[in-house]
Chains A and B, each alone.
Chain A
Amino acid sequence: MAVDYVSPFDDRVRTPEPLAPRPASVSGRRVVLLDIRKNRGAEFLDRMETLLTAEGAITARSAKEIFSKPAALALIDEIAGRADLVVEALAD
């Protein structure tokens, strides 16, 4: 006997955003290093910045309000306006 149930799920189909094309080189590219503000994430970004600068990238730093919340849309828009590439650091 088939029984209908009320689903607790939101069954909307959400299409994933496609990945942006990957550049062959970072030379001359604007790279924003996004610190999520978790412990020691900045250390990782410091090292990344050194390596990227050596490869000719133009780096800049940015940070989320707090690691445990999604980045604010305004921050995402701001980074999108001034960066070709983004490196987001995890931590611990």
Chain B
Amino acid sequence: MSRSHHTPAGPHPAPALSVRGTGLGEVTIGALTAGGCALLLFVNEDCPTPALAMRRLGPLGRAWQEAGLTATAVFEDPLEIAVRVTRRLGWTGQVASEDPPYETSRAYGLVSVPTAVLVDRAATIAGTVTGWDHAALVALIGQAGALLGTGLAVPEATEPLLKPGCSSKAAIDPELAAAMSAPVGTDGIEEMFERGWTDGLPVVPPTPERVEAMLGGCDPGVSLGLVPPDMGEATLERVAACAVLAGCRPAYFPVVVAAAQAALDPAFNLHGQAVTTQPAGQLVVVNGPVREAIGLNSGMGALGPGWRANLTIGRALRLLVTLTGGGMPGQLDRSTQGQMGKVGLCVAEDEEVSPWEPLHVERGFRPGQSVVTLIGSDAPLSISDHRSRSPEDLAWVLAWAAASQWSTNWWPLEEPSVFVICPEHAEMFRAAGWTKQQLRHFMFDAVHKPAAELRRGETTPFVHAAGPAAQVPKWASPEAIVLIVAGGEAGRYSAVLGPCTGMGSQIVSREVGSPWPLTT
């Protein structure tokens, strides 16, 4: 630490600046004094005293600028850190940054930060204050006002009035200074890329503190099982690390855990989905009170983007598959083309708008339970229908949109097609009194073709075995049509997600947070 003191003005020319600013133009003494005088406030991130100085002086910068005094915080840190710190502290002046070995600090003879240097119109140093010394700074600002011929606002005289600063990085060993200047805040994100702890997007570094907060009292050693394809063990600590990486808030963790439990059920066959050449994603459908509790969006833009809970819960599950499970794209994940849903896809059903029983109730849960349902699925296909005036026409349009799923002539599909019905479409069925089962059967009956029309290119053994005139349905049964409601109140766009095919993957549901926290 260094004591604060005031150095009387001397007729020394202000040394040239070797710094970067936030704008396009070069930061020079000439530019900074063009409007009158310049106040250089040398600071760095590591010391609390510069933070105090920027907090106290920061709000005055704009008024000083108008009066002809340009205040600039000169950081002995990278520019991105300088920008972040000044934003947090409310600094309204200019921002500049110098790199090791801090030539500008050395040229100004800096011993400690903060150091305030007043430079006059003639580009000479008019005065210097080191440390936080309220009285000395008021005097310096008064000196600037005298040079400008105007009164300048000064900081309020609140405690502490005196606070020593810390060593300037220019005053310590250059190698140590360079090590100290490593941009920890931004390096963490880059380090995640270097480690391969990512899906290709920036992630939140899983520090022990963040992982502990994510666990929320759960036992980190509890295992949910082995994650295919490389059979990494899904301890809750690793699941929490994935949730942190994905950007989840701790409140989402029970949903992430339930999704992981469902995905690891052998009936879901995550192994096949994780390594297949298909574009197989894991669709997470959330029902029940937890939707509102954690801010899951089931309304406008329900399939994304825009909502943290939706995006990060789906992503956390995918990171568990790719990192803990080893299903890294291009390595064990052999998906030929992939699809953006493989980054993560989580949708909440709009149970309040739906005319029907929600998905989890269909699957045997109570309405008040919060439930996650996992479905192996392809990318969503949007279906526009603004013209149907009867439920029959609308159901026909929706159903036939799925006719080419998996492959044009691959009939019947054993696996589920997931229809996400928008509120306006749902309202048409509600007004006509259609039950969900009625709609499902109508759609099933609507889509069929004679086998002869399906015998081209890739088709099924079923089609080959059938007589030419035999009618082949698109789905093996009405139960392969999954119906949920979500989306904005305006716009007649529903969507359908095709299946992950030929793997025997079943739909799996798990209750959220039962029990919670998980300790065994």
> Closest residue of chain A to B242, judged by CB?
A8
What 0/1 readout, one digit per residue, does chain A (19-46) give for beta carbons within 8 Å of chain B? Answer: 0000000000000000000000000000
Chain B interface residue bracket vs A: 35 or more
**Distance (whole angstroms) from the CB of A8 to the closest CB of chain B:** 4
A29–B197 CA distance with the chains assembled, in angstroms: 47
Task: Determine the main DSSP class of B at the interface with A.
Answer: helix
Q: Whole-angstrom distance between the alpha carbons of A8 and B321 in the complex?
A: 10
Chain A residues within an 8 Å CB radius of B207: 3-6
Q: Which chain B residues lie closer than 8 Å to A68 at the CB level?
A: 269, 271-272, 276, 502-505
**A8 and B271 contacting across the interface, CB-CB below 8 Å:** no
Contacting A8 at CB < 8 Å: which of B245, B272, B502? B245
A9 to B502, CA, bound (A): 29
B238 at the interface (CB under 8 A from A): yes
Complex contact A10–B232 (CB within 8 A): yes
- What are the interface flags for A58-92 relative to B under an 8 Å C-beta threshold, 1 for contact and 0 otherwise? 00000000111110000000000000000000000
Taking A4-B207, A7-B241 as contacts, is the C-beta distance between A70 and B504 under 8 angstroms? no
Chain B residues with Cβ under 8 A from A6's Cβ? 206-208, 211, 237-238, 240-241, 244
Any chain B CB within 8 A of the CB of A13?
A: no
A54 within 8 Å of B (CB atoms): no
CB distance from A30 to the nearest CB of B (A): 29
Give Cα A45 to B405, complex, Å: 31
Q: How far is the CA of A5 from the CA of B206 in the complex (A)?
A: 5
Asked if B272 and A69 sit within 8 Å, CB to CB, the answer is yes
Q: Are B504 and A8 in contact (CB under 8 A)?
A: no
Residue B324 at the chain A interface, CB threshold 8 Å: yes
Q: Looking at the assembled complex, report how far the CB atom of A46 sits from the nearest CB atom of chain B, in whole angstroms.
A: 17
Residue of B nearest to A7 (CB): B241
* B250–chain A nearest beta-carbon distance, Å: 14
Q: A7 CA to B234 CA in the complex, in Å?
A: 11
Q: Which of B479-503 contact A (CB under 8 A)?
A: 502-503
Q: Name the residue on A nearest B320 (C-beta).
A: A8
Q: Are B503 and A8 in contact (CB under 8 A)?
A: no
Residues from chain A with Cβ under 8 Å of B241 in the complex: 5-8
Which B residues touch A4, using CB under 8 A? Answer: 207-208
Cβ distance B270 to chain A, nearest Cβ, rounded Å:
10
Contact across chains for A1 and B504 when beta carbons are under 8 A apart: no
CB interface residues, B 265-288, toward A, < 8 Å: 269, 271-272, 276
Name the distance in Å between A13's Cβ and chain B's nearest Cβ: 12
B277 to chain A, nearest CB (A): 9
Tell yes or no: B31 within 8 A of A by CB: no
Specify the chain B residue showing the minimal Cβ separation from A1: B184
**Cα of A4 to Cα of B207 in the assembled complex, Å:** 6
| Nearest chain B residue, comparing its CB with the CB of A11 | B232
With both beta carbons as reference points, the residue of chain A lying nearest to B184 in the complex is identified as A1
Does B182 touch A at the CB level, under 8 Å? yes
Cα A66 to Cα B414 with chains together (Å)? 15
Distance in angstroms between the alpha carbons of A19 and B96 in the assembled complex: 62
| B323 in contact (CB, < 8 A) | yes
Whether the pair B503, A66 counts as a contact (CB closer than 8 A) is yes
B378: min CB distance to chain A, Å: 15
Q: Which of B205, B206, B244, B504 contacts A66 (CB 8 A)?
A: B504
Neighbouring B residues of A5 by C-beta, 8 Å: 195, 197, 205-208, 241
Min CB distance, A92 to chain B, in Å? 9
Q: Which residues of A contact B231 (CB under 8 A)?
A: 10
Across the interface, A70 reaches (CB within 8 A) one of B195, B238, B271, namely B271
Task: Output the least CB separation between A24 and chain B (Å).
Answer: 34
CA distance A67 to B211 in the complex (A): 37
Minimum CB–CB distance from B234 to chain A (whole Å) comes to 8
Q: Which residue of A lies closest to B230 (CB)?
A: A10
* CA–CA, A26 and B359, complex, Å: 56
Instruction: Flag if A1 contacts B269 (CB, 8 Å).
Output: no
Which residue on A lies nearest to B227, using beta carbons?
A: A10
CB-based contact B238/A3 at 8 Å? no
Chain A residues in 8 Å Cβ range of B276: 68
Whole-angstrom CA separation of A1 from B188 in the bound complex: 10
Q: Are B184 and A8 touching (Cβ within 8 A)?
A: no
How far is B276's CA from A68's CA once the two chains are assembled, in angstroms?
8
B197 close to A8 (CB less than 8 A): yes
* Chain A residues whose CB sits within 8 angstroms of the CB of B182 once the complex forms: 1
For B205, B238, B240, which residue has the most chain A Cβ atoms within 10 angstroms? B238
Residues of B within 8 A of A70 (CB): 271
Closest chain-B Cβ to A40's Cβ sits at a distance in Å of: 12
- Residues in A neighbouring B237, C-beta threshold 8 A: 6
Of all chain A residues, which has the CB nearest B179?
A1
Q: A8-B319, A8-B320, A9-B232 are contacts. A69–B208 as well, Cβ < 8 Å?
A: no
CB B18 to nearest CB in A, in angstroms, measures 25
CB distance from B239 to the nearest CB of A (A): 8
313-332 of chain B: CB within 8 A of chain A? 319-320, 323-324
Q: Is B233 an interface residue (CB 8 A)?
A: yes
B232, chain A: closest CB distance, angstroms: 3
Contact between A8 and B323, CB atoms less than 8 A apart: yes
Given the contacts A3-B205, A66-B503, A10 and B184 also touching, CB distance less than 8 Å: no
Residues of A near B238 (CB, < 8 A) are 6-10
User: With A and B bound together, what is the CA distance between A3 and B191 in angstroms?
Assistant: 10
Residues of A within 8 A of B319 (CB): 8
Pull 6 A–B residue pairs with CB atoms less than 8 Å apart, ordered by A: A5-B207, A8-B245, A8-B319, A68-B505, A69-B503, A70-B271
For the complex of A and B, list the 7 residue pairs with the smallest distance between their C-beta atoms, beginning with the closest: A68-B272, A10-B232, A68-B503, A8-B241, A8-B323, A6-B211, A6-B241
A contact residues vs B (CB 8 Å cutoff): 1, 3-10, 12, 66-70
